[in-house]
Amino acid sequence: MRRSVDAPPVRRARGREEHDAALALRRTVFCEEQGVAEELEVDGRDDEAVHLVALDGDRVVGTCRLLLDGAAARFGRLAVARAHRGRGTGGALLAAAEDHARTAGAKRMALAAQVGARGLYARQGFGECGEPFEEAGIEHVTMEKRLA
């Protein structure tokens, strides 16, 4: 897995405690900071997803999830603790998700990027597909990348 020198290590979430910490971080970032309604943030797909976490010691400071469906992977719910933003944590999570998707046999990965964060995805080879759209009151754009 590729990661910035400053980025914390990333791996698949282990156990209920890390999974719960990842969900709590998502609530903080999306619901408290961005004003997303909790019923929109919790969409019922977490049990079928692969959850990755970035760790500072034993503390979850970043998370994302990956939904796998044959040759397609859907990346989402990228959340990084405020104190760890700008250190490569988001890029490290994205790279780990790509590696996991490739290993699982995915040929492409798609995501809905908040417009303000699309540079992160573009730097890692994702291209925009279609027009911006609103989701949970925030402007997004669909982005995709071929993995194979």
| Strand order from edge to edge, sheet including 127-135 | 10-12, 50-56, 59-69, 72-80, 108-114, 138-146, 127-135
* DSSP assignment string, 98-109: HHHHHHTT-SEE
Q: Which pLDDT value is given to residue 4? A: 53
Q: Which pLDDT value is given to residue 5? A: 59
Q: For the chain of 148 residues, list the mean pLDDT of each consecutive stretch of 10.
A: 69 96 97 93 93 96 96 97 94 96 96 94 95 93 95
Q: Are 84 and 61 in contact (CB under 8 A)?
A: yes
Q: Which residue has the tokens 């959340």?
A: 79
By C-alpha distance, which of 49, 63, 50, 68 is closest to 10? 63
What's the token pair of residue 34?
Answer: 């961005």
Rounded Cα distance between 37 and 15, Å, is 26
Q: From 3.40.630.30, 3.20.20.210, 3.40.30.10, 3.30.1340.30, which CATH number describes the 10-109 domain?
A: 3.40.630.30
By C-alpha distance, which of 43, 142, 46, 50 is closest to 96? 50
| CB-CB neighbours of 112 under 10 Å | 15
Q: Which pLDDT value is given to residue 2? A: 47
Q: Where are the domains of the chain?
A: 10-109
